[in-house]
Amino acid sequence: MPLPEPHGGVCEDMTAFQERSTDQWDVRDLGRVAYREAWAFQKEVVASRHAGTVRDTLLICEHDPVVTIGRGTPDGAVLDARFPVEPVERGGEATYHGPGQLVIYPIVKMTSQSRDLHHWLRALEDACSEVLESFGLVCGRRAGATGVWVSGSGSEQRKIVSIGVAANRWVTWHGLALNHETKLEDFSVIKPCGFDAGVMTSMAAEMGVDCPSRADVLGQLVPALQRHLAVFQECERGESP
């Protein structure tokens, strides 16, 4: 059965990604959408996935400026309340979302043999790193921190992908935010995941005029996620949906 329609419609360019839908995946590009609306739509898709009426799903979007605060956010993490602040179910601390960011929410019904959210986080990081490195960036992890980091070591690393996840009876939701052409000064409203805002970077900041288009990045990121997350899918393990 098809995905339910989001209340605000879909991106006019979503046909570019319909071809990425497969027997195991639905791919939907929502375009720019308010955070609350995308959050409510995620919940609808999660419920549909539990009911078995949709396939595993990648929801792609970008948000109007907003700060989300995960379950691990300490007091004082929000420094400036100029943007809406939304408490959410995911792990992690405060994160900024805004225009120029590629946000992807993978909604996957995990097989009983693969119910490990730490492994899930690593798979999301690996998919993003693979794609960023294909565009010439040097990526890695940072000890004690989630996400994808570029260049240098230790304090010289800069964060380009933020990741925060949750699961509802082992159907995943929330996901990742890749800074493509994000306005980095907007991160100054928070301590992003406990760090100084200056640690954040974007593909545009790192690559300048060589920064690829949104479509080019998604053209590689969507199949990379499908590959790296396949191990978590029921049909990959021979289980029925």
173 residue type, one letter = W
**pLDDT value at residue 116:** 95
Does residue 235 carry a catalytic annotation? no
Please give the angle made by the CA atoms of 88, 91 and 96, to the nearest 5 degrees: 60
| % of the chain exceeding 90 in pLDDT | 66
Residues 6+ apart with CB under 8 A from 2: 26, 54
Helix ranges restricted to H, the chain: 15-18, 35-51, 117-134, 203-207, 214-229
pLDDT, tens only, 193-206: 778 888 999 999 99
Q: What is the pLDDT of residue 6?
A: 52
pTM over the 0.75 mark: yes
Reported as a single tens digit per residue, the pLDDT across 191-238 is 877 788 889 999 999 999 999 999 999 999 999 999 999 999 975 444
SS3 119: helix
Domains of the chain: 15-232 (3.30.930.10)
Between 164 and 23, name the one with better pLDDT: 164
pLDDT digits (tens, 9 = 90+) for 33-89: 999 999 999 999 999 999 999 999 999 999 999 998 888 777 888 888 889 998 888
Per the CB < 8 A criterion, the answer to whether 63 and 28 are in contact is no
* Rounded (5°) CA angle 222-149-61: 35
Q: Give 176's pLDDT tier (boundaries 50, 70, 90).
A: very high
Q: Single out the catalytic residue among 11, 128, 193, 211.
A: 193
| Alpha-carbon torsion (84, 88, 93, 95), positive or negative | negative
